């Protein structure tokens, strides 16, 4: 007997699952990057901001491991210690990184302009708000009350070490949001992120994906620095970020969360036509 499942979800969106730094808070994604510079510096190995941004979106242990594997950083580590960076060294840098990140995450985590209005517009449509992060639970436990005090309280938050399966670029954190929020179909979800691993996470979970160029890791400027640029200067900084997120497979790429409501309307229209992510 042959059986073919043909039902297509054609309802409205039910959930938007947001990343944190560079997406809803921390325009330019400085909290993780600046602390990584300081953590490596504590071991006598300097890295720069551009290097720290390359593996952004991964769980922080994996992020440190990826930095240690970059040829130029590996060479500096070898010059300092006479050997490559071992997993034990990664553990040591991670252990130095964590208390710094917990202590300073609030310093960098102001809400991105337009975030509260965009989220309010989603809630007015009955859309649930999920979230997940490359931050571990101990950092999220420090960040959540700060975000609440600033007006942001997602319905679900999954940290990168909450699940045995792991974090990005796998689909597990996004899918855990689906479970906890009680969403009936992954096609009714949108994953919003400023990094390539975050877009990969949403695609692996079968969701619509929206990449954020200007507010995130790829442009890497503060809001004040971004706003001070002329339109041609903004276009020049935006273009490579858009290209990278587009190449990662994002269904849409926009500047920031402030531009999201129009995209949500377009996705709803595409779902009504029977389209899937």
Q: Point out the residues that are catalytic.
A: 19, 60
Cβ count near 220 (within 10 Å): 22
Alpha-carbon gap, residue 145 to 149, rounded angstroms: 6
Alpha-carbon gap, residue 67 to 45, rounded angstroms: 11
Alpha-carbon gap, residue 168 to 133, rounded angstroms: 9
Q: Which stretches of 109-230 are DSSP H helices?
A: 115-124, 137-149, 172-181, 196-204, 223-228
Alpha-carbon gap, residue 206 to 172, rounded angstroms: 11
Element (H, E) at 241: helix 231-247
Question: Is 7 in contact with 15 (CB distance < 8 Å)?
Answer: no
Q: Could you give the C-alpha distances from 62 to 20, 134, 225, in angstroms and in order?
A: 18, 10, 29
| Torsion angle defined by CA atoms of residues 68, 138, 223 and 58, in that order, rounded to the nearest 10 degrees | 40
* Beta strand ranges found along the chain (DSSP E): 15-18, 128-131, 189-193, 208-212, 252-254
Q: Could you give the C-alpha distances from 237 to 38, 123, 262, in angstroms and in order?
A: 26, 32, 23
Alpha-carbon gap, residue 19 to 192, rounded angstroms: 6
Quick one: 187 exposed, middle or buried, by C-beta within 10 A (0-12, 13-18, 19+)?
buried
């Amino acid at each position: 007997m042959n059986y073919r499942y043909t039902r297509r979800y054609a309802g409205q969106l039910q959930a938007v699952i947001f990343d944190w730094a560079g997406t809803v808070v921390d325009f330019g994604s400085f909290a993780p990057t600046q602390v990584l510079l300081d953590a490596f510096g504590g071991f006598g190995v300097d890295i720069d901001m551009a290097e720290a941004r390359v593996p952004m979106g991964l769980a922080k242990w994996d992020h440190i491991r990826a930095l240690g594997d970059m040829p130029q950083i590996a060479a500096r580590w070898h010059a300092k210690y006479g050997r490559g960076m071992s997993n034990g060294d990664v553990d040591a840098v991670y252990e130095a990184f964590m208390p710094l990140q917990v202590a300073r995450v609030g310093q960098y985590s102001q809400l991105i302009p337009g975030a509260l209005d965009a989220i309010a517009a989603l809630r007015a449509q009955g859309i649930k708000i999920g979230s997940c992060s490359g931050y571990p639970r101990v950092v999220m436990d420090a960040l959540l009350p700060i975000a609440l005090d600033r007006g942001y309280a997602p319905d679900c938050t999954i940290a990168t070490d909450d699940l045995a399966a792991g974090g990005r670029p796998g689909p597990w954190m996004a899918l855990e949001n689906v479970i906890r929020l009680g969403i009936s179909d992954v096609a009714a979800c949108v994953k919003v992120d400023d990094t390539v691993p975050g877009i990969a996470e949403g695609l692996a979970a079968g969701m619509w994906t929206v990449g954020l160029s200007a507010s995130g890791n790829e442009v890497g400027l503060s809001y004040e620095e971004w706003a001070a640029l002329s339109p041609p200067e903004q276009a020049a900084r935006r273009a490579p970020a858009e290209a990278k997120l587009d190449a990662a497979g994002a269904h849409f790429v926009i500047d920031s969360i402030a531009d999201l409501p129009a995209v949500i309307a377009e996705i709803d229209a595409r779902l009504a036509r029977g389209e899937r992510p």
